[in-house]
Structure 1
Amino acid sequence: MRITQVLERTAAMKSSIRNSVIDFSQMTTSCVAVVTDVVRDGQPVIGYGFNSNGRYAQGGILRERIIPRLLAADAEALLTDDQTNICPFKAQQVMLANEKPGGHGERCVAVGTVDMALWDAVAKIAGQPLYRLLAERYNNSQADERVYVYAAGGYYYPGKDRRGLQEELRRYLDMGYDACKMKIGGATLDEDLRRIEAALEVVGNGKHLAVDANARFDVETALQYAAALAPLGLKWYEEPVGPLDYAGHAAVAAAYEGPLATGENLFSMADARNLMRHGGLRPDRDILQFDPVLSYGLVEYLRTLEMLAEQGWSRRRCIPHGGHQFALHIAAGMGLGGNESYPEVFQPFGGFADDSPIENGYVTLPDLPGIGMELKAELMPEFAALVAGTV
């Protein structure tokens, strides 16, 4: 058993939207395919991966460092001890050879993208949906058969007024979601409050609406928003300050009694641990949004979950950023609190299997080996272009 090829290409993930920090009109992602010599139904097993939105394609790092290391490794060095499958833990060691600790930059995204493809291949070789494989290996065989998801949207669109925001949120509720998230910080506080009021008219009350500042604010501004948001009883107030401003986050947590959410822009277990130590987070209410793909992959995320348990945190407080099938499988297999979803943006990469509808805020996972990329009709052409000629 061996990996015969690791292929990559850059694909567009652009949308005419913006949050408080960036616009997504030029957003890209890396598509990766890990081709093996294992044959199923007359075809080689291929694992597929891509990086989550908000971080651009990683082609240079993949081509110059990460992929050559994998292909140069002895086949046995990438396999489980019993030689029956690929070992993503050993693969990560190979991918990170000769890399200095810390300063994660973009390499964490490149490694995480390949990690997704590796786990897809591992589950396909094992003949299991990824979430069941994860549950058996790392969660006492306890898998969630359905996962809570919320609709992430409410971006600032060119020419979009508050009525347009309301129409968007109504569509999400009609799709089966029971909670939505919208952006703040890209307008004045007064205008954002008017947008929030308009959203509440649609979703009903604060427990069905989260707001996301995308780490835009300094501490003073974050506290001003916190004071204005406090009476609304929102589902959560997300990323009020910079991701590494742990003291600033602790100041907001001390002043704001409602739930806070953060973590999507921290890219290692060590950074997540510093947030736990110094960020003032409260394990009875706050939400942790570490993104497995952006932070060296599931291998590192499993280390993060272990660290959180040592800190007294329940996995149910974890709702990963990303809004894609890989994170959904992790949520189901590891017993997390839910998963983000992007019903109308970052397509065709966002969202879940085409035949998995949202019902009362929950989605079920299909019984297909691997992650299930093949069940998203608009996504598979992105990978077909990558692997043309290999099958």
Structure 2
Amino acid sequence: MKIIDIIESTRPIKSDIRNAYIDFSKMTLSLVAVVTDVVRDGKPVIGYGFNSNGRYGQGQLIRERFRPRVLEAEAGALLDETGNNLDPHKIWACMMSNEKPGGHGERSVAVGTLDMAIWDATAKIAGQPLHDMLAQRYGNGVANPKVFVYAAGGYYHPGKGIPGLLGEMQSYLDRGYSVVKMKIGGAPLAEDMQRIEAVLKMLQPGQQLAVDANGRFDLATAVAYGKAMAQYPLFWYEEAGDPLDYELQARLGESYTGPMATGENLFSMQDARNLIRYGGMHKDRDWLQFDCALSYGLVEYLRTLDMLKDYGWSPSRCVPHGGHQMSLAIAAGLGLGGNESYPDLFQPYGGFPDGVKVENGYVTLPPLPGIGFEGKADLYAEMKALTA
């Protein structure tokens, strides 16, 4: 048993939308296939993966460094103790051989993309949904396939205006979401407050709004926004300042007493630990958004969860960024608090298997082998074409 090929293709996910920091007009991602020599139903078992939006394709790193290391590994070196399946931890160590500590933003996305495909293949070889495998190996033994999801959107868009924002938010609520998220920081404070108030007025009991500044603010602006928003019952105030400015996060937490969220742009267990140590986050009300597809994959995410446990944090305070099925599987298998969702953006890479509906803010994952990409026809068509 071995991996016989790794295929990468850089794909566009361009859009005219923008947040407070970047636009997505030239955004790309890497789509990968990890091909094994295991045969099921007359076909090779192939694991698939891709990186989350907001970071670009990783093809050069994958082809120059990580793919050769895996394909050149000795026979049997990447298998588990039974010899009957892959060992994602050994493969991760192989990919990271001859790599210096640090440098997480330079390679973590490439490794995370491959790691997703490796776990997909591993669960398929075992004939299990990944969420069941994770619950049995690392959780309480039984997965909970019912996962909270929130609808992310509310981007700035040419000509959109408040009516367009309200129409978008209502479409998410009509599809069963109970929490919606919008961008702030890309307009003056007074204008953003008008946008927030307009959305809050349309919400019904049991529905909430989160806001996301995408790291745009300095401390003074972050505090000013926090003061202006203190009157609102927000689900959270997300990523006010630079993701590595832990002092800003801590000082904001001294004045803003509502729930805050951050972490999507922290790409290692060490960075996540520094946030917990120095960022002033509150384990009873704040949320952590680490995204395995951007931060070395599930192997590293397991280390992050162990670290959080050591600091008294529950995995239920983790709601990953990215809107992909990998994080859904982790949430279902390891008891995370939920997952981000992009109902209309970055398709076909986001979303759920066909037929899965959002009901009162939750989705229920079907028992598909692996991550379940084959259950989403438009996405699987892109993946299947990699090895055609």
TM-score, normalisation: structure 2: 0.99
The residue that corresponds to 1:264 in the other structure is 264
Given that 1:13 and 1:349 are in contact with CA atoms closer than 8 Å, whether structure 2 keeps it comes out as: no
In the TM superposition, 1:71-90 aligns within 5 A as 71-90=71-90
In the TM superposition, 1:33-72 aligns within 5 A as 33-72=33-72
The residue that corresponds to 1:29 in the other structure is 29
The residue that corresponds to 1:368 in the other structure is 368
Q: CA deviation at 1:206?
A: 9.5
Letter in structure 2 aligned against 1:3: I
Q: CA deviation at 1:385?
A: 2.2
SS of 2:378's partner is coil
Structure 2: gaps (5+ residues):
none
Q: CA deviation at 1:386?
A: 1.0
The residue that corresponds to 1:171 in the other structure is 171
The residue that corresponds to 2:210 in the other structure is 210
**Distance in 2 (alpha carbons) for counterparts of 1:380 and 1:148:** 24
**Distance in 1 (alpha carbons) for counterparts of 2:70 and 2:203:** 48
Given that 2:178 and 2:207 are in contact with CA atoms closer than 8 Å, whether structure 1 keeps it comes out as: no
The residue that corresponds to 2:323 in the other structure is 323
**Distance in 1 (alpha carbons) for counterparts of 2:132 and 2:24:** 34
Paired residues in the alignment total: 388
**Distance in 2 (alpha carbons) for counterparts of 1:363 and 1:264:** 22
**Distance in 2 (alpha carbons) for counterparts of 1:210 and 1:73:** 46
The answer as to 2:229 corresponding to 1:241 is no
In the TM superposition, 1:1-391 aligns within 5 A as 1-204=1-204, 208-388=208-388
Structure 1: gaps (5+ residues):
none
Letter in structure 2 aligned against 1:353: P
Given that 2:178 and 2:206 are in contact with CA atoms closer than 8 Å, whether structure 1 keeps it comes out as: no
**CA offsets per residue over residues 199-230 of structure 1, 9 Å max, x none?**
11222379600000000000000000000001
**Distance in 1 (alpha carbons) for counterparts of 2:329 and 2:106:** 24
Q: CA 1:216–1:205 in 2, change beyond 3 Å: closer, same or farther?
A: farther
**Distance in 2 (alpha carbons) for counterparts of 1:178 and 1:102:** 39
**Distance in 1 (alpha carbons) for counterparts of 2:178 and 2:64:** 44
**CA offsets per residue over residues 144-198 of structure 1, 9 Å max, x none?**
1200000000000111010000000110011110110000000000000011011
Letter in structure 1 aligned against 2:360: N
Given that 1:58 and 1:110 are in contact with CA atoms closer than 8 Å, whether structure 2 keeps it comes out as: yes
Letter in structure 2 aligned against 1:18: R
Q: CA deviation at 1:16?
A: 1.6
**Distance in 1 (alpha carbons) for counterparts of 2:36 and 2:233:** 51
Given that 1:34 and 1:118 are in contact with CA atoms closer than 8 Å, whether structure 2 keeps it comes out as: yes
**CA offsets per residue over residues 255-280 of structure 1, 9 Å max, x none?**
10000000000000000000000000
Given that 2:146 and 2:362 are in contact with CA atoms closer than 8 Å, whether structure 1 keeps it comes out as: yes
**CA offsets per residue over residues 283-316 of structure 1, 9 Å max, x none?**
0000000001100000000000000000000111
Given that 2:20 and 2:213 are in contact with CA atoms closer than 8 Å, whether structure 1 keeps it comes out as: yes
Q: CA deviation at 1:140?
A: 2.2
**CA offsets per residue over residues 50-75 of structure 1, 9 Å max, x none?**
00110000011001001011000013
Given that 1:207 and 1:233 are in contact with CA atoms closer than 8 Å, whether structure 2 keeps it comes out as: no
**CA offsets per residue over residues 82-132 of structure 1, 9 Å max, x none?**
111101100011101111100212310000000000000001000010000
SS of 1:44's partner is strand
SS of 2:352's partner is coil
Given that 1:45 and 1:125 are in contact with CA atoms closer than 8 Å, whether structure 2 keeps it comes out as: yes
My pick for the range that moved more, 299-308 or 71-80, is 71-80
**Distance in 2 (alpha carbons) for counterparts of 1:77 and 1:202:** 57
Q: CA 1:186–1:206 in 2, change beyond 3 Å: closer, same or farther?
A: farther
Q: CA 1:206–1:217 in 2, change beyond 3 Å: closer, same or farther?
A: farther
**Distance in 2 (alpha carbons) for counterparts of 1:216 and 1:61:** 28
**Distance in 2 (alpha carbons) for counterparts of 1:99 and 1:253:** 36
Letter in structure 1 aligned against 2:313: W
Overall identity of the aligned pairs, in % = 63
**Distance in 1 (alpha carbons) for counterparts of 2:234 and 2:208:** 7
**Distance in 1 (alpha carbons) for counterparts of 2:221 and 2:366:** 44
Letter in structure 2 aligned against 1:147: V
SS of 1:387's partner is coil
SS of 2:327's partner is helix
**Distance in 2 (alpha carbons) for counterparts of 1:2 and 1:220:** 54
**CA offsets per residue over residues 231-275 of structure 1, 9 Å max, x none?**
102000000111110011000011100000000000000000000
**Distance in 1 (alpha carbons) for counterparts of 2:267 and 2:244:** 11
Given that 2:145 and 2:366 are in contact with CA atoms closer than 8 Å, whether structure 1 keeps it comes out as: no
Letter in structure 1 aligned against 2:254: A
**Distance in 2 (alpha carbons) for counterparts of 1:6 and 1:62:** 9
Given that 2:149 and 2:341 are in contact with CA atoms closer than 8 Å, whether structure 1 keeps it comes out as: yes
